[in-house]
Structure 1
């Protein structure tokens, strides 16, 4: 059986690099991060740019993912039954909560955002569809890890980095968090991933009662929390949304 084509492997590595970390990366950083000669990296980037998979900022000369890649990604996401079933419910949740809503699934030891409803105000926001969020610190990740054995195995084996001073990294402490998630039916993130940001999430199950994703409301701590705790109505709304999507997937009432 023929081996992998080196140029395609390198192109895939560049796309993964651009998908994580800083949104724009310079040629030198791409080359050094992947151990490539500048000329090789530039040739691959130029080809990806011609195909629309990469864009170059004319001011800084740095590269970022292109619109064609997003279009291809969305063509996959559009046929994803979870996303299709959740569209109406997540829109309603964003309207009722006044906050951004995320739909995430387990992917490569992280949470892949497959749907994002903007906070319903006039503030400038960045679409997070296709972004990878941490599995161990986000409410989405904890909801998945608490109910999905595969996610639990991955988060147990991985290094849980301290993203903020509040991130829970210890194995025993993290297991206690997951026990709490299972006991109350929802997960939280209080400045464990990003300073000043809080989130509430609940798991979504399919007709086999298998967890297939999670939905979350995310916003500034002062809006998501009240008197030092998560707003009860917000938690109830997130859980209702998760139940509604689960029912549409055939999970029945629970």
Structure 2
């Protein structure tokens, strides 16, 4: 008995079955307008929006009419300027709510490891302070007795300095971090000194600590050399979320014999670039002031 014939696939089924189709060019072109609006500091006139999207005003207007109907764009009736609409906001908030910052950071670690050649880590703020939640060792690793779940000191680790500088600058977080800094300074004063000299790269007073944190904010990332462990240096770069809050810290560390500890050296530059891209991916804009 001959096999029954399969019904011919309809046009939609054939379209879905074709891998890696070229896509719909008009959608991609129209997205340039939405991208231009998302990058602008505020609403734009039609001519400025069209120029930013690299298209004629007439062409841009046709797309904007459709985007307005969909709620992706709105136009102020008085100024006639265009801005993102409520539908764009809903899509953006839904996307942000589904982003796992640590997962996103872990996806970048392998590439960053190849670029820096040194051990990398991810830290978040836990119940007791900045806490290590991910650790990836370089092939030629420096012996560091740190474990996942360890809480890092605020003044003798790059991780701690990063969180103290960018979380404790003002507001409620500053009120929480200030007593932690005082307690840590008190503990540091009780440590034995080598030959009567204070530890290297370790603040001794509250004024010293504030100067270190201000230097951290000025450079956009934290650095330690010898202070956590003798012969070890490291950097920690902040990653911010869409509200400008510190989401996590990206850490690179290694032996000072092999790790370039210059503020503008290759490891610091690569770490800061990765952290800024992660911040952008989380919805952070430099225009949003980080606390």
Q: C-alpha displacement at 1:244, in angstroms?
A: 1.9
Map of 1:86 onto structure 2: 105
Map of 2:224 onto structure 1: 189
Task: Give the superposed CA RMSD.
Answer: 2.7
Pair 1:247-2:280 in alignment: yes
Q: C-alpha displacement at 1:130, in angstroms?
A: 1.7
Map of 2:266 onto structure 1: 233
Map of 1:211 onto structure 2: 246
**Contact 1:143 1:201 (C-alpha < 8 Å) held by counterparts:** yes
* Structure-2 change in CA distance of 1:80 and 1:137 (3 Å): farther
For structure 2, the 5+ residue unaligned runs are 1-97, 192-197
TM-score where L is the length of structure 1: 0.61
Q: Could you tell which deviates more after superposition, 139-148 or 107-116?
A: 107-116
**Contact 1:103 1:115 (C-alpha < 8 Å) held by counterparts:** yes
Pair 1:202-2:237 in alignment: yes
TM-superposition CA deviations, 1:181-228 (whole Å, max 9, x none): 1111111010111111100111110011111221110000111136xx
Q: C-alpha displacement at 1:141, in angstroms?
A: 0.8
Alignment partners' CA distance in 2, 1:124 and 1:140? 18
1:103 to 118, 122, 128: 122
**Contact 2:118 2:141 (C-alpha < 8 Å) held by counterparts:** no
TM-score where L is the length of structure 2: 0.54
Pair 1:159-2:193 in alignment: no
Alignment partners' CA distance in 2, 1:195 and 1:123? 11
**Contact 1:225 1:231 (C-alpha < 8 Å) held by counterparts:** no
Alignment partners' CA distance in 1, 2:142 and 2:178? 38
Q: C-alpha displacement at 1:115, in angstroms?
A: 1.1
Q: Larger % of strand: which? A: 1
**Contact 2:119 2:141 (C-alpha < 8 Å) held by counterparts:** no
Alignment partners' CA distance in 1, 2:141 and 2:167? 36
Map of 1:5 onto structure 2: none
* Structure-2 change in CA distance of 1:152 and 1:124 (3 Å): closer
**Which is greater in Rg?**
2
**Contact 1:190 1:198 (C-alpha < 8 Å) held by counterparts:** yes
Listed as ranges, the matches of 1:137-148 within 5 Å are 137-148=156-167
Q: C-alpha displacement at 1:90, in angstroms?
A: 2.0
Q: How many residues align?
A: 174
**Contact 1:115 1:129 (C-alpha < 8 Å) held by counterparts:** yes
